Amino acid sequence: MRFLRLKEVKERIGLGTTSIYKMINEGTFPKPVKILGKNVAWIDSEVDEWIMQRIADQRGDAIPDMNC
């Protein structure tokens, strides 16, 4: 498990800052955690789970097991 900074999250999911924070406010994207002072980061496994859920929602599939 590791932390992802905003730049990494944006690259990983292909969305910009405004879209990410909008989804956080809507409760549809993982919230970041404070890591030091005002610095925040996302937990990589939560972002991965969000990505897999988007794929499953679009394809109607079950979510693949990420622990294989």
Per-domain boundaries in the chain:
3-59
| Widest pairwise Cα distance in the chain | 41
Alpha-carbon gap, residue 68 to 46, rounded angstroms: 16
Q: Is the pLDDT of residue 18 over 70?
A: yes
pLDDT on residue 16: 98
- Cβ atoms of 17 and 10 within 8 Å: the answer is yes
Alpha-carbon gap, residue 58 to 53, rounded angstroms: 9
For residue range 20-33, list pLDDT tens digits in order.
999 999 999 999 99
Alpha-carbon gap, residue 49 to 55, rounded angstroms: 10
Least confident residue range of 7-16, 28-37, 54-63: 54-63
- Cβ atoms of 17 and 6 within 8 Å: the answer is yes
For domain 3-59, give its CATH number from 1.10.101, 1.10.40, 3.30.2000, 1.10.238. 1.10.238
pLDDT (mean) for 7-21: 98
